[in-house]
Chain A
Amino acid sequence: MDLPHVLYLLVAFLIASPFIDLASHRRGLWRLSHAFTLACSLACLTLMAYSYGASSETWPRAITYGEFGVGTCLLLDRAGFFMALTALLLSALTSIYALGEGPISPGYCVAFTALMAGMVGVSLSGDLLTLYVFWEIMCLAAYALVAMGEFKDEALEAAWKYFIMASAGAILMLFGASLAYGLAGTLNMPLLARRLEGASCRWLYVALLFFLAGMGVEAAFFPLHTWLPDAHSAAPTPISTMLSGIVIEIGFYALAKVMLILFYQSAFLWQAILASLCVANMLVGSLSALVQRDVKRLLAYSSVANMGYLMAALSSYGVKALSAALFFVLSHALSKGLAFLCAGHMATRAGSRDLGALRDVRVGMPLTTALFFLSLLSLAGLPGTCGFVAKLVLISALFLTASWWLGVLALLNAILMAAAYIRVVWSMLGSPAKAMPRSVGEGRLSLTAMFLMALLIVILGFWPGPALRLAYLGAMDLLGVR
């Protein structure tokens, strides 16, 4: 048993999913599709943990299909393992939440399974063809899931915007891959790294720009982020959680992998680009979040700002900063995931995503409100939550590198973002404008999912050691491929 088996298992689940989906259309059987995605993510998590414990081989290693350098390959490193683990963990928690809520749309089960398969595939892929194929699986599933949102007009429009921008981005990335192939004659990442070592020509920089522009759409880089607030706020709540919590981070991870392995020789170029874009991302994200009335849009803009931290970490590309970035992804997935679940839970009951409407239902849903505040505090970086550890490790790692000014910037951005979260808490603590006419219930299963997330946030806040160590090993692997 090894990590590729997780991918095979996911593909097997993906083949089975249309039948489950058809069966779940029968009256009273809608729970089947959510139970299927839950079972799928739990099975993959178990297999993953088992294969990590059982394998005694060296990391990172390449599993080739066909002759090395000619066929395709998977690149197994602990950074990819960490990302895939986070993705599956969030999928499992989201599936529990969805199980407590209600049916979403026909085809949900297939698209969700495809999203999981795409994310794990992107994290483990070792050549540009495999990367592109899994990337498209992930993206197509994500567009379809956004289109299933509660308010149909808005959801269709957001899905269209996301579809056009991210598809064009994926194809630009493929064009960049073709240029890399033209320069080195292979698509295999470790081999590309060896053949492009020390290369410096104009076409290499053009390829780099194609990769940055193409993957930057999915990873919400500043001028290309405009689809994100629309798509993340219009999607159904579990999907907003997945998209904001992990899908954009997986996009960013793929970008980091390509930059660190293929384009290590031109680090000066992408370092400068990422450092300047990260300033823009932080400013645009946090300033827009400060003025939002729509709670899901606010959280989406906060994701744009949080991508800025990851870009800062990548642009300094030290092993400490990269491991901090990996831990930040885990912390962000849990905190932002919990925030989206609670906000969506309340917004569904209130029938509106406006902050004022959330204040009106607050009295009827005390537990959800408390968990929402906890997630916001973790996002703001209060001690005792994992958000604090993540920010502490990341900012102190940035201060130790040559680009210490990024650390100052990250600190300032943290203060701005904290102001945005405090504004949410403040506006929700005010007295409700009107009593809610109907009784508002809190779903028991949904609450279970939220409690589990909150528990993980607090546990990682007090005991981050094992996760930090795994992140450190992951960063070592990521830098050690070359």
Chain B
Amino acid sequence: MEEENMTGPEVLFACSIALLAIGIYGLASKRNLIRLIIALEVLVNAACLSFASFSAMAGPGKADPLIGVLIIIVLAIGGCIAAFGLALALAIYKRLGTVDAWKLRRLRG
């Protein structure tokens, strides 16, 4: 096989690395609480995609069933994270009247 032709799973893995980079960039640069939650969800998807790509590398029809289970569970946990984050963001908005993370600066590290 030629060097520049990646197989399907390898493309998937490259995509997951890209998603990881996007998620970390989002976490580092965004101020809006909702956007931060979206960045977390992108990170969850990056991890799932990475698992899927490694599972697919075993060949067609040989994918690990545990990974299928894992992806479903992780997506459910991702849903929990999003739900909790949105509830917290709502509480912060009601209480402090802002969804800007940079305005939450009363506490210092």
Which residue numbers of A lie inside 8 Å of B, CB to CB? Answer: 70-72, 129, 132-133, 136, 140, 143-144, 147, 152-154, 156-161, 163-164, 167-168, 171-172, 174-175, 178-179, 181-182, 185, 187, 226, 229-230, 234
Residue contact B88 to A70, C-beta cutoff 8 Å: no
Residue contact A156 to B40, C-beta cutoff 8 Å: no
Tell me which of B77, B84, B96 contacts A143 (CB under 8 A): B84
CA distance in complex: A234, B107 (Å): 10
Interface of A, secondary structure class, is helix
Chain B residues with Cβ below 8 Å from A70 are: 64-66
CA distance in complex: A230, B64 (Å): 42
Known contacts being A156-B91, A160-B92, A230-B107, is A140 close to B84, with CB within 8 Å?
yes
Tally of B interface residues using CB under 8 Å = 44
Chain A residues with Cβ below 8 Å from B69 are: 129
CA distance in complex: A140, B33 (Å): 17
Residue contact B77 to A136, C-beta cutoff 8 Å: yes
Chain A, Cβ-Cβ closest to B106: A157
Smallest Cβ distance from A236 to chain B, in angstroms?
Answer: 16
Residue contact B66 to A187, C-beta cutoff 8 Å: yes
Smallest Cβ distance from A293 to chain B, in angstroms?
Answer: 13
Query: Is residue B34 within 8 Å, beta carbon to beta carbon, of the partner chain?
Result: no
Which residue numbers of B lie inside 8 Å of A, CB to CB? Answer: 13, 16, 20, 23-24, 27, 33, 36, 40, 43-44, 46-47, 50-51, 53-55, 57-58, 64-67, 69-70, 73-74, 77, 80-81, 84-85, 88-89, 91-92, 95-96, 101, 104, 106-107, 109
Chain A residues with Cβ below 8 Å from B109 are: 226, 229-230
Chain B residues with Cβ below 8 Å from A161 are: 104, 107
**4 other contacts beyond A129-B70, A153-B96, A171-B40, with CB at 8 A cut-off?**
A136-B77, A160-B33, A164-B27, A230-B107
Chain A residues with Cβ below 8 Å from B51 are: 178, 181
Residue contact A174 to B40, C-beta cutoff 8 Å: no
Chain B residues with Cβ below 8 Å from A226 are: 109
CA distance in complex: A393, B51 (Å): 42
Chain A residues with Cβ below 8 Å from B74 are: 132, 174
Tell me which of A147, A156, A167, A181 contacts B96 (CB under 8 A): A156
Chain B residues with Cβ below 8 Å from A178 are: 16, 47, 50-51, 54
Chain A residues with Cβ below 8 Å from B44 are: 171, 174
Smallest Cβ distance from B37 to chain A, in angstroms?
Answer: 9
Interface of B, secondary structure class, is helix
CA distance in complex: A72, B13 (Å): 24
Smallest Cβ distance from B56 to chain A, in angstroms?
Answer: 11
Residue contact B91 to A175, C-beta cutoff 8 Å: no
20 contacts between A and B (CB under 8 A): A132-B74, A136-B77, A136-B81, A140-B80, A140-B81, A153-B95, A154-B107, A157-B92, A157-B104, A160-B33, A160-B92, A160-B101, A161-B107, A167-B81, A172-B43, A174-B74, A178-B54, A181-B67, A230-B107, A230-B109
Known contacts being A182-B57, A187-B66, is A159 close to B43, with CB within 8 Å?
no
Residue among A71, A154, A161, A178 with most chain B CB within 10 A: A178
Chain B residues with Cβ below 8 Å from A158 are: 107
Chain B residues with Cβ below 8 Å from A182 are: 13, 50, 53-54, 57
Known contacts being A156-B96, A164-B40, A187-B66, is A144 close to B47, with CB within 8 Å?
no
Chain A residues with Cβ below 8 Å from B53 are: 182
Chain B, Cβ-Cβ closest to A133: B73
Residue contact B107 to A157, C-beta cutoff 8 Å: yes
CA distance in complex: A307, B95 (Å): 34
Residue contact A156 to B92, C-beta cutoff 8 Å: yes
Known contacts being A71-B66, A157-B107, A175-B20, is A129 close to B40, with CB within 8 Å?
no
CA distance in complex: A147, B107 (Å): 14
Smallest Cβ distance from A57 to chain B, in angstroms?
Answer: 26
Smallest Cβ distance from A149 to chain B, in angstroms?
Answer: 12
CA distance in complex: A147, B57 (Å): 43
- What are the 4 closest A-B residue pairs judged by CB atoms, nearest first? A226-B109, A182-B54, A178-B50, A174-B47
Residue contact B88 to A143, C-beta cutoff 8 Å: yes
Residue contact B106 to A154, C-beta cutoff 8 Å: yes
Smallest Cβ distance from A11 to chain B, in angstroms?
Answer: 15
CA distance in complex: A154, B77 (Å): 27
Chain B residues with Cβ below 8 Å from A179 are: 50
Chain B, Cβ-Cβ closest to A164: B36
Smallest Cβ distance from A255 to chain B, in angstroms?
Answer: 18
